Structure 1
Amino acid sequence: MTSQTDLAALLCSRLCHDLLSPVGALANGLELLADEQDPEMRARCVELLEQSAKTSTDKLKFFRLAFGAAGGFGENVPVEEARDVINALASDAKRVEIQWAISENSLPKPAVKVMLNLSQIALDALVRGGTLDIGAEKRDGNIEIVARATGPKIAFDETIGHALQGDIAAVEITSRTAAAHMIALLAEEIGGGLQYAVTDDALVLGAVLPEPEGMIG
């Protein structure tokens, strides 16, 4: 069974893996800029540096909110904050259109973490582009979340699905499945659950989480 320490280490490995490419591109770009004399090529180097810096910043903002304690110390996180980080990741990924269906202005931190991680998993599945629909609503004392990826090709590792459903016996927890494992544990701790369904051209990820008692209206 994966300990909390192991899980933290795997999540750190995932963060380092995702940041290695844009940070490496920054280093390479600076080296090229130092040696390049042609004005047009120098302008191109600066453009690549700006792009790599944006990608690095977008990923850090996502990880801070999806895995860390971002959003302050209150119970809720503004939906706009979550929307901004997902929109930024999608713009970095290219060829992905995002459609939002969330009427709430804010959601509890656990719900935001689940929504962000489901959205990231769905976004990763759109290897040839497509559409990512993200929705969340409060109903009957629960918060229902869905992330639906549709496109010409869906690339989804079933081990991530097993991790989402808490089927630890069927999957080894690695840096690839750590995020799914984390939100599965989070959902279980608060009495909720996750589910998924996948076809050749669609991946649907969902969660039902109980709304905190003090917030049910």
Structure 2
Amino acid sequence: MDSVVSDAVGVVPLVESDEELKPWQTDRTRPPAATKIVIAGGFGVGKTTLVTCASEIRPLQTEALMTEASEGTDDISATPAKRTTTVAMDFGRLTLDDDLVLYLFGTPGQQRFWFMWDDLVRGAIGAVVLADTRRLKDCFPALDYFESCGVPYVVAVNHFEGSEPFDSQDVREALSVPAHVPVMIMDARRRISVIETLLALVAHALEESPEQS
């Protein structure tokens, strides 16, 4: 019987059927290059959507209904339809080039859950900081965190319908992002857009690694 874990919705399979197995899962002579990536950003910016869109397995989610505990704490003015929130993490997996496996960890966005970030970030090669142009200030805690701990990151502007479009240079200047850090415009609902962002992060992390210095 396949291994399973429980999530906030139900049971999540950890082992796929034979038809979905990757080469590194069936050939013992081809161990995968496994990398951990963190998806961070403010509340309701699209972290769960990104992980869900990219993952080749059913993602593990810790979504809970929003309750009175969030009143006066979580600003939902930009996302009035939002009824759930991540209370621990999101987890997904994406295989690239057969032998490169990305493990995606989405962080909770609310300040009261930030104590979990240190554990989620440990061992990560880099992070994607999601930004919403309607509330760019929500990015600063994540940017400050990754700058302080020296984890490579890219900024990905998740464009929401009805929001005013800005180009990457405008966002870079507004957030004071260093010139060497990639700033991208993307759509967390489109898998190809998400994959392009993840590839940009992997390339940036390789450039920033001590071995490349």
Please indicate the TM-score interval, normalised by the length of the shorter structure: under 0.3
Structure with greater helix percent: 1
Query: Which protein, 1 or 2, shows the higher relative CO under an 8 Å CA cutoff with sep ≥ 6?
Result: 2
Give the TM-score of the pair, scaled to structure 1.
0.26
Give the TM-score of the pair, scaled to structure 2.
0.26
Structure with greater strand percent: 2
Structure number with larger C-alpha Rg: 1
